[in-house]
Amino acid sequence: MKWLHKDLLDVSQLSRPEVMAIFETAGRFQELQERPVKKVPTLKGRSVILFFAEPSTRTKTSFDVAGKRLSADTFSLTKSSSSLIKGETLKDTALTLQAMAPDAIVMRHWCSGAARFLSRRVECSVINAGDGRHAHPTQALLDSFTLHQEWGEVAGKTILILGDIAHSRVARSNVLLLTMLGARVRLCAPRTLLPPAARSWPVTVYSDLNEAVRGVDAVMCLRLQLERQQDGLLPDLREYARTYGLGPRHVELARPEVKILHPGPINRGVEINSELADCADSLILDQVSSGVVVRMALLFLYMTRKGEM
């Protein structure tokens, strides 16, 4: 197999064998996490620009850690510290970054399609760290990798994605990837938080959480994007938590040892009961650990092994 991709813009670009190759590479990097010195010289002399026009804790930090553990030089650029805040266009920002000759740009932007726009104007690899409501491919990869490590195989499992699906790039990317890997995917959300297109996706849609959770192997809760609620999509947060917040009574309807995931940040007591978030079957912190090794694998593959895999 040859690694032919210049950029990672969406999981739809990847084949199943390529996804498994990413998982295999990430698995090799897991051993590094246990060493006293968590660093290898793989990307020494290479440079990665972390271009985050939207706030991020987990994604930005894990890419930063991933780059540094591979000995790459990482440089952070945010909206508040860039000329975007002065009115500079994304095209001019792209040309400026290209002139600095980085080896990769990791980009998060509020506009859907921004990563693709950038990728067409720079010669280096562009990795999409979230663009608008469109896609978050690295989150989907780390979510599936976490489940793959837990179960050994995602195919045949039933996974429920619960919450604010309308505003979630994470949900869309996970639907694409999990179904590619052979999982059965369910969605559950209030009608106002379910995009019309969802009914054409290869999923089963529920509005009743008690029905949606029956017999599932994993529940992936999504952050309720409170900043969007000024649009009047929900009448009351307390009512949302009562009807769609994952609680112990729901876990009893799922399969034994049902796994619980959340991409973070968590609104405890709204999307998920706090005790469930911290329980033995919660994989939320495993997702954070997986984020580092999956992003190490992506930087490694996209920056050093193009055409050589």
Would you list which residues are annotated within the binding site for L-aspartate?
A: 86, 169, 223
Strands 104-109 and 125-131: parallel
Provide the annotated binding site.
Answer: 58-59, 86, 108, 136, 139, 169, 223, 264-265
DSSP letters, the chain, are --B--S-B--GGG--HHHHHHHHHHHHHHHGGGGSSS---STTTT-EEEEEESS--SHHHHHHHHHHHHTT-EEEEEESTTSGGGGT--HHHHHHHHHHT--SEEEEEESSTTHHHHHHTT-SSEEEEEEETTTB-HHHHHHHHHHHHHHHS--TT-EEEEES--TT-HHHHHHHHHHHHTT-EEEEE--GGGS-GGGGGSSSEEES-HHHHTTT-SEEEE----GGGGGGS--S-HHHHHHHHSB-HHHHTTS-TT-EEE--S---BTTTB-HHHHTSTTB-HHHHHHHHHHHHHHHHHHHHH-BTT-
Provide the annotated binding site for carbamoyl phosphate.
Answer: 58-59, 108, 136, 139, 264-265
The rounded distance, in Å, linking the Cα atoms of 84 and 90 is 7
Q: Name the amino acid, one letter, at 43.
A: L
The rounded distance, in Å, linking the Cα atoms of 277 and 251 is 12
